[in-house]
Structures are given as C-alpha cells and as structure tokens.
Amino acid sequence: MLKTNNLLKNPSWDRFTEMLFDAALAGDLVMVVYAARNGARWDACDAEGCTAMHWASTGGNAEVVRYLVSAGYGVLVADAKGRTPLHMASRAQVVEALVGSGAEPNVFDDSGRSPLHEACARGDAAVVRALLAAGACVDAQDLQGCTAMAGSQNVDCITALLQSGGGVSQSFDSLGCAGRVALGDACAAPVAMGMVLS
C-alpha cells in the first residue's frame, strides 16, 4: 500500500479512482471532475476506510468538497476509526462547506474525539474558530475524559476555546507541560484573561 499524507491508498483501485483520490487531496478540481466523469468509483475507500471526501477535506480545497457533495459524495460517512470528513478538515472554508452540506460538528469518532479535538491537536486555530462558529461543543470530552483544550498546545486555539466559554478547570489537570505553557500564554492575552476571570 502506498501512503500519502497519512492516507493509505487501496491497491485494488482502478486508475480513475486513484486519480480521484490524488486530485481530491491535491485540490485539483479539474482532475476530480475528470476522474469522476470517467468512472471513478464513488463508493471507494482507502485502506483505512476514508473516502474521496475525507481526502478532499484533508487537502483543504472547499471547491473540491462542494463538487463532491454535488456529485453525491457523503459528508457524514465515517472511516474505520469513526472519523468523518469534518474530523480531517484542514481549512475553515472546508468546515463551512461540510457543515453547510449537513456535516455535524458534534460527531465523535471511536475514541470519543470530535472534529474540535482533532483541530486543537493539530493546532489549527482557523479550523477551531470555524467549528466553534458552527456549534461545536467546546467542553465535550473524549473517552479519556479530555476536552479539546486538553489536547491543544496552541495559544490561538486555547484563546478561541476560552472565548467560546471553554472551561479551564476540566482541562487543566489533563494538560501536559506544553499545554499548560500554552494555556498560560493564552491567559496572558488581554481578551482571554477577561474570559478566564469572568
């Protein structure tokens, strides 16, 4: 199996299906349309159960996501670990396109992690803000009892969570050293400090 950006290609794919997945990841709308119109399997999954929509979400091109939605690709389909395309969204515009097409921001994978947990773990503050704007639950806990804040080491992510009413007390005990430093830095910011004190 070939591995691309932590996504595993399926050796049984025909050339148009492989082209579709590669183009979805690369954000190449022209090639996505070409592959889809030439017989790429719409129900194909990679070795981890990810669909072309998962790959497009990882690639971060909202136009490709919108095209796949219009072609009938699902936004709610989960991979073998229960992750939806929203768990893998790498840009705020992709979050907006997925949520606008029916994706649920408070869906949980097999580990109890939400798309917000994943975005915080990646340190992607723009995606965190887009998920919060879409109604993501800021204090949802995974199966280990950790909130999204507990998994973040990014000041901007933590600030966005605090501004959205994220609780520090539930998260502080589960933060590692780097996360506590980031939380301290976020709390030092004037806007975030007002959120913690209120």
36-64 in b/e form (b: 16+ CB < 10 A) is beeebbeebbbbebbbbbbbbbbbbbbeb
pLDDT for 43 equals 85
State whether the Cα torsion 54-56-60-64 is positive or negative. negative
Amino acid identity, position 191: V
Sign of CA dihedral 25, 29, 32, 34: negative
Kindly report the backbone phi and psi dihedral angles of residue 4, in degrees, each rounded to the nearest multiple of 5, phi listed first. Answer: -130, 115
Residue 194 is predicted with a pLDDT of 47
Give me the residue spans of the domains in the chain. Answer: 1-104
Query: Which residues in the chain come in under a pLDDT of 50?
Result: 1-3, 5, 169-182, 186, 188, 190-198
Residue 150's pLDDT is 87
Q: Which CATH architecture has domain 1-104?
A: Alpha Horseshoe (1.25)
Q: How far is CA 160 from CA 76, 90, 135, in A?
A: 25, 17, 13
pTM attached to this predicted model: 0.81
Tell me, what's the pLDDT at 9? Answer: 67
pLDDT at 169: 47
pLDDT of residue 158: 92
Structure confidence at residue 13 (pLDDT): 78
Q: Residue 183: its pLDDT value, please?
A: 52
The pLDDT assigned to 167 comes to: 61
